[in-house]
């Protein structure tokens, strides 16, 4: 059962956290709370067996639905490209 490496999980979560800086109309406290919620996804991502880009994206979108609506235009496409790159080596193992 191939899984995402901890390094890959950190890169995915880092992308989610970095985009929080570009969300408009959020104060420091709201951004801190969002970052905490993103970091809590580490165990879920690291524990996925046979992850695919679609499965990861839909899982994150479901778990962080209110955050995904705040991310800037085009973020979903960039995240999908990153996930495809991270899950492709995991499928070929």
Domain range annotation of the chain: 6-92
pLDDT at 88: 72
Helix axes 28-39, 6-20, angle to 10 degrees: 160
pTM for the whole thing? 0.86
Contact 37, 55 (CB under 8 A): no
pLDDT at 62: 95
Say how far apart CA 90 and CA 29 lie, in whole Å: 36
List per-residue pLDDT tens for the chain, 93 residues long.
Answer: 588 999 999 999 999 999 998 887 889 999 999 999 999 999 999 998 888 999 999 999 999 999 998 888 899 999 999 999 988 754 444
Say how far apart CA 72 and CA 26 lie, in whole Å: 13
Contact 11, 78 (CB under 8 A): no
* Tokens of residue 16, six digits: 């989610």
């Amino acid at each position: 059962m191939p899984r995402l490496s901890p390094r890959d999980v950190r890169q995915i979560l880092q992308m989610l956290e970095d985009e929080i800086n570009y969300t408009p109309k959020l104060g420091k406290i709201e951004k801190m709370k969002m970052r905490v919620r993103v970091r809590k996804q580490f165990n879920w991502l690291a524990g996925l067996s046979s992850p695919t880009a679609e499965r990861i994206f839909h899982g994150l979108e479901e778990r962080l639905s209110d955050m995904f609506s705040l991310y800037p235009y085009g973020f979903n496409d960039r995240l999908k490209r990153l996930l495809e790159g991270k899950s492709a080596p995991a499928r070929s193992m």
